[in-house]
């Protein structure tokens, strides 16, 4: 049994506190899901499962809420996963696994995130003291091996000798490609049809950007954002009747050194692809310019085929949706050959997906 992507759509990406700040998760996801179904000519009642990645909603089962809001059958229980930044790609991997196992013919998979609506997290004190607010949970049992993401990126840049000038140039190029790109995968949401953060970033503007940690700045690190992205996965039987279908050829999610989360995609990519194999396009997550540069070089990918429509530096980073956005971009861009999507996640996790006609 093989699994195929027969439709893929996403919302615009808007910075946290911006145009989507008042939208709940299902308001972001419902138009995207509807567009996927319409593109493939599939009725809502035909979908058998919805798998949704989300990192910030802090509980519940958003996937069930999305399924109900999108008008899917009440039989669709919905499955929410949290693998931080890798979640969107891993939702697609799980959906494909259901199909290849013969457990389903049609699965919606992707992610949705609202950094704007993230709840305030409080850790209770068993000694009876007041609760203490915290922003992120631990990603390892060892605090000394669980670095802040900005710090980890700055350390990586220092160790690999990737200068701020090089990182800024990468970010400038990402914005330029995004400004020039036609993005047919975007579904208008709340009157917006373009990514809100994309701008004419110049080297001079990048050089004046606010420092965050070491060589990491507000220009060469992706901003927190709100967005949704989903793909419709189908068995070969259903895909043969679809207007467009790309086959999932291979995928992998692997753990790596927790201290070096930015390099985690490299072994995952190596599990499913070799530099000796032809590759038409790669969508590599740009949480940080240095992380993207390091992964492109470490995996042996031709930079000329990476993120032709710009990347997360020019869009923003809606954590749970970011991996699904990469797959959605590939689905719309790839006309022949094979395409690779890869992303890193906190805790030293890397996920990669290979698709082709």
Helix intervals (H) in 214-273? 236-239, 265-272
In a domain, 191, yes or no: no
The answer to whether 283 and 323 have CB atoms below 8 angstroms apart is: no
Give 40's pLDDT tier (boundaries 50, 70, 90).
very high
Query: Do 92 and 236 have their domain in common?
Result: yes
Q: Catalytic annotation on 52?
A: no
Would you place residue 59 in the very low, low, confident or very high pLDDT band (cuts 50, 70, 90)? confident
Same domain? For 238 and 304 the reply is no
Q: Are 216 and 157 in contact (CB under 8 A)?
A: yes
- Of the candidates 52, 85, 175, 295, the residue annotated as catalytic is 85
Mean pLDDT of all residues belonging to the chain: 96
Q: Looking at the structure, do residues 348 and 210 belong to the same domain, yes or no?
A: yes
Measured distance CA(127)–CA(147) in Å, rounded: 28
The verdict on 154 and 289 lying in the same domain is: yes
More confident residue, 29 or 135: 29
Q: Do 290 and 156 meet the contact criterion of CB atoms below 8 Å apart? A: yes
Residues 310, 229: contact at Cβ < 8 Å? Answer: no
Please check whether residues 83 and 229 belong to one and the same domain: yes
Looking at the structure, tell me whether residues 169 and 263 fall in a common domain. yes
Averaged over 99-120, what is the pLDDT?
Answer: 97
Q: How far is it, in rounded angstroms, from Cα 357 to Cα 352? A: 17
Specify whether 23 is located in the same domain as 57: yes
Structure tokens at 191: 């009157």
The CATH number of the domain holding residue 337 is 3.40.47.10
Assess whether pLDDT exceeds 80 at residue 58. Answer: no
Residue 129 lies in a domain: no
Q: Which residue shows structure tokens 């996801």?
A: 29
Q: Tell me the chain's radius of gyration from C-alpha atoms.
A: 19
pLDDT 10s digits, 280-301: 999 999 999 999 999 999 999 9
Q: What confidence category does residue 122 fall into, taking pLDDT thresholds of 50, 70 and 90? A: confident
Collapsed DSSP state (helix, strand, coil) of residue 251: strand
By CB atoms closer than 10 A (0-12, 13-18, 19+), residue 226 is buried
Of the candidates 4, 36, 175, 317, the residue annotated as catalytic is 317
Q: Specify if 130 maps to a domain.
A: no
Confidence of residue 137 (pLDDT cuts 50, 70, 90): confident
333-336 long-range contacts (CB < 8 A, ≥24 apart) are 333/281, 333/308, 333/309, 334/246, 334/280, 334/281, 335/280, 336/280
How much is the pLDDT for 127?
86
Residue 71 reports pLDDT greater than 90 = yes
pLDDT digits (tens, 9 = 90+) for 226-274: 999 999 999 999 999 999 999 999 999 999 999 999 999 999 999 999 9
**What is d(CA 317, CA 326) in angstroms, rounded to the nearest whole number?**
11
Q: Looking at the structure, do residues 110 and 147 belong to the same domain, yes or no?
A: no
Look at phi and psi of residue 316 and say left if phi exceeds 0, alpha if psi is from -120 to 50, else beta: left
Q: Is residue 189 part of a domain?
A: no
In a domain, 128, yes or no: no
Residues 91, 22 within the same domain: yes
Domain co-membership, 154 together with 286: yes
pLDDT given at position 120: 87
- The SS3 assignment for 35 reads helix
The answer to whether position 280 is within a domain reads yes
Whether pLDDT at 17 is above 90: yes
The reply to whether 158 and 92 lie within a common domain is no
Considering the entire predicted model, what is its pTM?
0.97
Contact 81, 53 (CB under 8 A): yes
Total of domains in the chain: 2
pLDDT reported for residue 77: 97
Please tell me whether residues 230 and 157 are part of one structural domain.
no
The answer to whether position 133 is within a domain reads no
Check whether 316 has a pLDDT greater than 90: yes
What is the residue range of 11's domain? 3-118+225-246
Is the residue at 286 inside a domain?
yes
pLDDT digits (tens, 9 = 90+) for 18-36: 999 999 999 999 999 999 9
Confidence of residue 126 (pLDDT cuts 50, 70, 90): confident
Q: Is 150 among the catalytic positions?
A: no
Alpha carbon of residue 316 to chain centroid: 10
């Amino acid at each position: 049994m093989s699994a195929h992507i027969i439709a893929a759509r996403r919302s615009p990406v808007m910075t946290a506190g911006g145009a989507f700040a008042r939208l709940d998760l299902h308001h972001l996801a419902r138009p995207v899901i509807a567009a996927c179904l319409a593109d493939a000519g599939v009725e809502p009642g035909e979908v058998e499962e919805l798998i949704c990645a989300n990192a910030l909603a802090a509980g519940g089962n958003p996937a069930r809420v999305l399924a109900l809001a999108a008008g899917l059958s009440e039989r669709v229980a919905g499955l929410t996963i949290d693998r931080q930044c890798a979640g969107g790609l891993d939702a697609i991997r799980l959906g494909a696994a259901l199909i290849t196992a013969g457990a389903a013919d049609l699965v919606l998979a992707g992610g949705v995130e609202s950094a704007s609506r993230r709840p305030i997290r409080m850790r209770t004190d068993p000694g009876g003291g007041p609760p203490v607010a915290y922003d992120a949970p631990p990603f390892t049992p060892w605090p000394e091996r669980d670095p802040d993401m900005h710090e980890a990126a700055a350390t990586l840049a220092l160790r690999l000798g990737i200068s701020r000038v090089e990182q800024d140039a990468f970010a400038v190029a990402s914005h330029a490609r995004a400004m020039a790109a036609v993005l047919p995968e975007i579904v208008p949401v709340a009157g917006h049809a373009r990514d809100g953060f994309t701008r004419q970033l110049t080297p001079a503007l990048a050089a004046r950007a606010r420092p965050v940690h070491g060589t990491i700045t507000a220009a060469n690190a992706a901003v927190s954002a709100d967005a949704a992205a989903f793909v419709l996965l189908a068995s070969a039987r259903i895909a043969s009747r679809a207007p467009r279908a790309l086959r999932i050829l291979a995928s992998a999610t692997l753990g790596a050194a927790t201290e070096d989360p930015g390099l985690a995609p490299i072994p995952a990519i190596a599990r499913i692809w070799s530099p000796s194999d032809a590759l038409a396009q790669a969508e590599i997550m740009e949480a940080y310019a240095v992380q993207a540069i390091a992964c492109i070089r470490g995996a042996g990918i031709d930079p000329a085929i990476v993120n032709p429509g710009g990347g997360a530096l020019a869009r923003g980073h809606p954590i749970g949706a970011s991996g699904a956005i990469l797959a959605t971009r590939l689905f719309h861009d790839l006309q022949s050959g094979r395409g690779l999507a890869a992303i890193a996640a906190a805790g030293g996790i890397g996920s990669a997906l290979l698709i082709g006609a």
